[in-house]
């Protein structure tokens, strides 16, 4: 079963959203897997949260520009203090993308 089939099955079983973690991108700081995010987003009707791969502030605006994902997250870059959360929020405001 591939990621798209798994996401569809989870939706069928009642999942309210998909947290899409791409293990191939996790910890790489090379950006989100835009192809995978697009494939999963197009295959389900529930919200999708992109995870794994963010390494700079531009990766966040990129995932929203290139996909219809509802949310994106990162953890390691913040825990390791490689990128300040405030820098991501400021970048997103400059791009007109709502953040919380």
Judge contact between 19 and 45, C-beta under 8 A: no
99 Cβ contact list (under 8 Å, min separation 6): 88, 89, 92, 93
Q: What 8-state DSSP symbol labels residue 46?
A: S
List, for residues 45-96, the tens digit of each pLDDT value.
999 999 999 999 999 999 999 999 999 999 999 999 999 999 999 999 999 9
* CA dist., res. 84 & res. 90, Å (int): 10
Domains belonging to the chain, first-starting first, are 3-94 (3.40.50.12600)
Note the helical H segments in 1-100. Answer: 3-12, 34-43, 57-66, 76-79, 85-94
| Single pTM value for the model | 0.93
């Amino acid at each position: 079963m591939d990621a798209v089939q798994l996401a569809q099955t989870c939706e069928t079983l009642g999942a309210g959203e998909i947290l899409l973690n791409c293990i191939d991108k996790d910890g790489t700081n090379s950006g989100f897997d835009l192809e995978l995010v697009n494939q999963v987003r197009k295959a389900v009707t529930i919200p999708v949260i992109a995870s794994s791969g963010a390494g700079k502030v531009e990766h966040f605006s990129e995932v929203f520009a290139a996909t219809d994902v509802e949310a994106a997250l990162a953890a390691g870059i913040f825990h390791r203090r490689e990128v300040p959360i405030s820098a991501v929020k400021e970048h997103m405001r400059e791009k007109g993308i709502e953040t919380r």
